[in-house]
């Protein structure tokens, strides 16, 4: 006889965990099952933690154990995969380590995440070539890495920068390759990007922009890369070239995909199929600033969308008005903040915007000097017609830089204009 659950959540990432926990919290009497193909729940920062050599096993980076989830009343089905989904019959066929069984659901949450997006190059099968998506790969990178080795990181987004830093700290000679003319190309304006590049090079990281990887070479292990027709020696290659939504299960259930290729959802994270919700890296969401549909595979979006999906799957009514993108990190001693829309993103959403450099005040009182970040660059992105602040970027000294960013996040969410920055004593740096 088929086992039945009120809510089945597929996916053991932050979206899936939040969906399962919220479903149980919203309706304690409902039965909830969590299906995950991996055996451990971990966060994305665990990847760089492992590569840095601070973790030797999957257990050391686990954030939720099976026993913890079970104590919440959630049935855990780890190391399991769904072989098929029948959305009409509300049934999934589960393939575990030793058996195949059928599970019925009242509501289903797809939190199947994303998959690495590799460029079309030869040599991906060589030893020493890794993605930066799975904890297993991160641990294998850590086991292989040793001081003096040459490491090549492909892709200069936030993940690529984190990988470069982690490998550098292990004593490797790191080369960072980016096919675009600058690093963090979609998130920072040129002057801020140049400042980050300068900081990486100051520490000894070799940064090659406008440099597409053409091929990888080696008999069994990777030994060389071809970039701009030239061969570069390498002992290890880590790809940080983005992700694509994992929608195979959605396709099985004939769930509609959106224009981005991710699962189409509404403000309740409902899909085109009755009783099926989607959250996290597999699903589309609404951008708070533009009100338009976007694909944002970010941990913050996954966490919040998981809560919405789980609550609604349990019978409650929860909606959201859109998510504000906020990405930040500390790389080689400087803080990088990018929130709202960048110029690249505004253009892709057909918003006429401009980037306006900003500068903090000069205080004669030494006690207030902390409010003027040393060597920091600030840029506000504003909609030209209304002068509404739609984005903010900052690169500079940790803590001091983030002080302004916290306030400006509130201004963006409140749809304030450029003149509101005067309240923070920020002025246009033209």
Same domain (yes/no): 256, 111: yes
Can you give the pLDDT at residue 371? Answer: 55
Average pLDDT, the chain: 91
- Residue 45 neighbours by CB under 8 Å, 6+ apart: none
Same domain (yes/no): 111, 249: yes
Q: Does 128 have pLDDT greater than 80? A: yes
Higher pLDDT residue, 135 or 247? 247
Same domain (yes/no): 222, 281: no
Q: What confidence category does residue 54 fall into, taking pLDDT thresholds of 50, 70 and 90?
A: confident
Can you give the pLDDT at residue 368? Answer: 52
Percent above pLDDT 70 for the chain: 95
Domain boundary among 220, 239, 258: 239
Q: What confidence category does residue 133 fall into, taking pLDDT thresholds of 50, 70 and 90?
A: confident
- The structure's pTM equals 0.92
- Residue 179 neighbours by CB under 8 Å, 6+ apart: 210, 211, 212, 213
327 lies in a domain?
A: no
347 lies in a domain?
A: yes
Distances (CA, A) of 162 to 44, 45, 323, 419: 11, 9, 24, 35
Same domain (yes/no): 122, 222: yes
Q: How many CB atoms lie within 10 A of CB 256?
A: 11
Nearest CA to 162 out of 392, 336, 374, 304 is that of 336
Same domain (yes/no): 25, 103: yes
Q: What confidence category does residue 330 fall into, taking pLDDT thresholds of 50, 70 and 90?
A: very high
Higher pLDDT residue, 53 or 290? 290
Q: How many domains does the chain have?
A: 3
Domain boundary among 180, 214, 239: 239
Q: What confidence category does residue 373 fall into, taking pLDDT thresholds of 50, 70 and 90?
A: low
328 lies in a domain?
A: no
65 lies in a domain?
A: yes
Same domain (yes/no): 111, 122: no
Q: What confidence category does residue 96 fall into, taking pLDDT thresholds of 50, 70 and 90?
A: low
Question: What whole-number distance in Å separates Cα of residue 421 and Cα of residue 93?
Answer: 55
Q: Does 184 have pLDDT greater than 80? A: yes
Same domain (yes/no): 92, 122: no
Domain boundary among 214, 239, 264: 239
pLDDT (tens digit, 9 = 90+) per residue, 413-426?
A: 999 999 998 888 88
Can you give the pLDDT at residue 399? Answer: 63
Q: What confidence category does residue 53 fall into, taking pLDDT thresholds of 50, 70 and 90?
A: confident
Q: Does 137 have pLDDT greater than 60? A: yes
Burial 333-361 (b: 16+ CB within 10 A, else e): ebbbbbbbbbbebbeebebebebbebebe
Same domain (yes/no): 111, 127: no
Nearest CA to 399 out of 369, 363, 365 is that of 369
Same domain (yes/no): 92, 136: no
Parent domain of 304: 3-115+244-313
324 lies in a domain?
A: no
pLDDT, mean of residues 127-137: 90
Same domain (yes/no): 77, 153: no
320 lies in a domain?
A: no
Same domain (yes/no): 354, 252: no
368 lies in a domain?
A: yes
Same domain (yes/no): 111, 256: yes
Can you give the pLDDT at residue 38? Answer: 83
Can you give the pLDDT at residue 369? Answer: 55
Q: Does 52 have pLDDT greater than 90? A: no
Q: How many CB atoms lie within 10 A of CB 278?
A: 33
321 lies in a domain?
A: no
For position 408, which CATH number holds? 3.30.390.30
């Amino acid at each position: 006889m088929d086992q039945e659950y009120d809510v089945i959540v597929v996916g053991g990432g932050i979206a899936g965990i939040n969906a399962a926990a919220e479903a149980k919290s919203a309706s304690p009497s409902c039965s909830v099952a969590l299906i995950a193909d991996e055996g451990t729940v971990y966060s994305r920062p665990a990847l760089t933690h492992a590569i840095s050599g601070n973790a030797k096993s999957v257990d050391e980076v686990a954030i939720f154990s099976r026993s913890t989830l079970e104590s919440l009343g959630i049935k855990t089905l780890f190391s399991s995969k769904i072989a098929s989904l029948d959305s009409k019959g509300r049934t999934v066929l589960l393939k575990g380590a030793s058996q195949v069984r059928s599970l019925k659901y009242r509501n289903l949450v797809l939190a199947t995440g994303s998959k690495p997006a590799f460029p079309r190059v030869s040599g991906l099968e060589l030893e020493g070539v890794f993605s930066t998506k799975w904890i297993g790969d991160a641990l294998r990178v850590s086991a292989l890495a040793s001081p003096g080795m040459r490491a090549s990181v492909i892709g200069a987004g936030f993940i690529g920068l984190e990988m470069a830093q982690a490998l550098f700290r292990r004593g490797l000679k790191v080369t960072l390759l980016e096919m675009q003319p600058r690093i963090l190309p979609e998130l920072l304006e040129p002057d801020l990007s140049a400042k980050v590049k300068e900081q990486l090079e100051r520490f000894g990281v070799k940064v090659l922009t406008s440099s597409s990887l053409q091929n990888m070479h080696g008999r069994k292990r990777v030994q060389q890369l071809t970039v701009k027709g030239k061969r570069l020696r390498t002992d290890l290659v880590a790809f940080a070239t983005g992700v694509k939504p994992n929608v195979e299960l959605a396709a099985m259930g004939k769930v509609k995909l959106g224009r981005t290729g991710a699962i189409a959802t509404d403000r309740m994270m409902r899909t085109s199929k009755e009783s099926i919700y989607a959250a996290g890296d597999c699903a589309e969401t609404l951008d708070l600033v533009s009100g338009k549909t976007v694909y944002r595979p970010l941990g913050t979006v996954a966490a919040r969308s998981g809560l919405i999906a789980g609550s609604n799957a349990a019978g409650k009514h929860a909606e959201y008005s859109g998510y504000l993108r906020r990405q930040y990190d500390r790389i080689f001693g400087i803080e990088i903040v990018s929130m709202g829309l960048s110029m690249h993103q505004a253009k892709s959403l057909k918003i006429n915007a401009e980037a306006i450099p900003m500068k903090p005040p000069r205080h004669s009182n030494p006690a207030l000097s902390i409010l003027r970040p040393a060597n920091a660059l600030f840029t506000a992105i504003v909609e030209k017609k209304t002068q509404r602040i739609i984005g903010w970027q900052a690169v500079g000294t940790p803590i001091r830089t983030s002080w302004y960013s916290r306030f400006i996040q509130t201004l963006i969410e409140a749809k304030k204009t450029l003149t509101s920055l005067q309240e923070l004593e920020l002025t246009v740096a033209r």
